[in-house]
A and B are shown apart, each in its own frame.
Chain A
Amino acid sequence: MKKFNYTELKDTRSGFGDGLTELGRKNKNIVALCADLTGSLKMNQFKKENPNRFFQVGIAEANMMGIAAGLTIGGKIPFTGTFANFSTGRVYDQIRQSIAYSGKNVKICASHAGLTLGEDGATHQILEDIGLMKMLPGMTVINTCDYNQTKIATIAIAEHQGPVYLRFGRPKVPNFTSPDHKFKIGKGIILNEGKDVTIVATGHLVWESILAGEKLKNFGISSEIINIHTIKPIDEEIILKSINKTRCIVTAEEHNFLGGLGESISRILTKNDPVPQEFIATNDTFGESGSPSKLMDKYGLNSNAIVNAVEKVLSRK
């Protein structure tokens, strides 16, 4: 079993900011828009280096999405930045009509996703955004797990022609992926090979899955851990190959179980090879105020919950 270490805790949103800065230096068609959250989104450096290619739109997200759509006409590649809640639910119709249906090359970059936004509470903690965005025809949906992956993903989506939703978070989390690991949109990454159970995770739950894997090993359970950074289009092949071996699966995400990664996986299983599945996700609920770690504990989004889910799914084999 591969051992994962990290030398530092780092926020995924800084990975976005640093990736955007790098893009700004090498591609003059990259433009960025922000709705009064430049510091929170870590877009300051891009703004400093490219004042003519950075647009502060104020607290007006609907307008931001429309302007981003318009900027693509003429060859610009706009990256919008605001919290996940204001990047999706608040502007769903603007994204649907002016970006997705119009096929515009806009990169919707969304920070502070999920419960780990923390103390601001449920008004800001969107747990429905993956579902909202994956339902839009033509939309690519990515949820990265750490700083390095977010940086690489930010750079990768600029090369992709078409609308993308890139979801990341607020808190500092273990930065464990290699800074130059292979990132391909739509391709999952096997972090650990195993034979008893498949654990598929996205976002902050990837690290928790690694921790769960280590705990399970102590019980003599061999888990195959897959990092699914792209929720749409989803890597069916890597899932089917894994469950062909393990015959059961646990999915883990910082999102409502309705509309999230788990449901996308269920569809693959049902169509191709039904095996037992357990879901680590929020249970059709809003969040609340609290520290990120306490919230994740209360709502059952941690390594212990994954271990329990694995034991349950193994009993259903």
Chain B
Amino acid sequence: MSTIASLEKLTLQVRRDILRMVHSVNSGHPGGSLGCAELFVVLYNRILDLSNVFDMDGKNEDLFFLSNGHISPVFYSVLARKGYFPIDELNTFRKLNSRLQGHPTTHEKLPGVRIASGSLGQGISVAIGSALSKKLNNDHNLIYVLVGDGELQEGQNWEAIMFASANNIDNLILCVDLNGKQIDGSTSEVLPMGNLKIKFEAFGWKVIEVENGNNLESIIKNFNYAKKETKKKSPICLLIKTEMGNGVDFMMNTHEWHGVAPNDEQLKIALSQNPETLGDY
């Protein structure tokens, strides 16, 4: 099992990957990607029960779905560093003929990706479908899905949230990236969503609040708790507070870096705050 020290090293390297990827094509979404670095590092290295070889059907392993596909940089970096595809391929992000599209897709057959996402609000439905498939197959592994908090403004989510509890989808762990920000500003400015905990509970979900979603130990502890709460008739929702742009001082506490790439000078400063640990791609 990976130690906290090794996960810390990996997180630093993932942040560097994210920054360098979006900088090299002057496009992409660094803010949410940086905010979820710890979450992805923990999921793929401490929580998910994964097969050694990627297979679309993913039988007898845990599956992860990314609904807010725009944070593809963190997904790609963590997948590559887990060995799903060559780390050098990060260099092709958003370029012509790449498997690393701006938003993740199965179309180019990139290992680790099981659904296209980007148009928001569709991931929970897909995760429910694969959770049902697991039940039909007597497969006891779990389904994980990540959505952004702003993404919950899409109505399809609430169809899915209603369905999951009504149908006892209890092999599903939904992670909400609660960074409180979206493109146009804070979620409370754009469209306040009220008390999400109460809303999820009213829809029949078991809710676990994660106060520090950028703390490795806190995420591990809460995921392990969530796992123990599965198979008890209710779907599980983790409301995970994260800081958009985490790890780069000038990208934090603002929504401005949601979908903007750093320039050369900004990249230099950002990288100096996140020293190389496992080797750049």
Contact = CB atoms under 8 A, between A and B. Distances in A.
Interface of A: 31, 52-53, 55, 57-58, 60, 62-76, 78, 93-94, 96-98, 101-104
B163 A74 contact: no
Interface string B51-86: 000001111000100000000000000000000000
B270 interface: no
Interface string B159-175: 11011000100000000
A73 B117 CA distance: 15
A300 B209 CA distance: 62
Given A67-B129, A68-B129, A102 B107 contact: yes
A67 B105 CA distance: 17
20 contacts: A52-B136, A60-B159, A66-B126, A66-B129, A67-B125, A67-B163, A69-B125, A70-B115, A70-B128, A70-B133, A73-B56, A73-B126, A74-B130, A93-B122, A96-B119, A97-B117, A98-B122, A101-B116, A102-B115, A103-B106
B119 A31 contact: no
A35 to B, nearest CB: 10
Closest 9 pairs between A and B when the two form their complex, measured CB to CB: A70-B129, A66-B125, A74-B133, A63-B159, A60-B159, A67-B129, A70-B130, A70-B126, A71-B129
Given A53-B136, A55-B132, A93-B119, A73 B107 contact: no
Given A98-B116, A101-B105, 4 more contacts: A70-B115, A75-B57, A94-B156, A97-B119
Interface residues of B, number: 38
* Interface residue SS majority, chain A: helix
Contacts of A76: 133, 136
A181 to B, nearest CB: 33
A73 B163 CA distance: 19
Contacts of A60: 156, 159, 162-163
A31 B136 CA distance: 10
A19 B154 CA distance: 36
Given A62-B156, A97-B116, A67 B128 contact: yes
Contact of A62 (B129, B130, B131, B159): B159
A69 B128 CA distance: 10
B139 interface: yes
Contacts, number: 120
B132 A67 contact: yes
Given A94-B156, A98-B122, A73 B133 contact: yes
Contacts of B114: 73
B100 interface: no
Nearest to A63: B159
B136 A63 contact: no
Interface string B111-151: 00011111101111111111111101101000000000000
Contacts of B117: 97
B163 A98 contact: no
Interface of B: 56-59, 63, 105-107, 114-119, 121-134, 136-137, 139, 155-156, 159-160, 162-163, 167
A73 B63 contact: yes
Contacts of B122: 62, 66, 93-94, 97-98
Nearest to B129: A70
Contacts of A101: 105-107, 116
B163 A63 contact: yes
A238 to B, nearest CB: 31
Contact of A98 (B126, B132, B167): B126
Contacts of A78: 129
B131 A70 contact: yes
A97 B124 CA distance: 14
B169 to A, nearest CB: 10
A58 B57 contact: no
B133 A66 contact: no
B125 A65 contact: yes
A74 B139 contact: yes
Given A66-B128, A67-B163, A101-B107, A74 B118 contact: no
A31 B137 CA distance: 12
A78 B57 CA distance: 14
A98 B125 contact: yes
B163 A57 contact: yes
A102 B105 contact: yes
A73 B160 contact: no
Nearest to A73: B130
A69 B115 contact: yes
Given A66-B126, A67-B126, A74 B59 contact: yes
A74 B134 contact: yes
Contacts of B137: 74-75
B11 to A, nearest CB: 29
Nearest to A55: B132
Contacts of A102: 105-107, 115-116
B116 to A, nearest CB: 5
Contacts of A98: 115-116, 122, 125-126
Contacts of A55: 132, 167
A71 B137 CA distance: 11
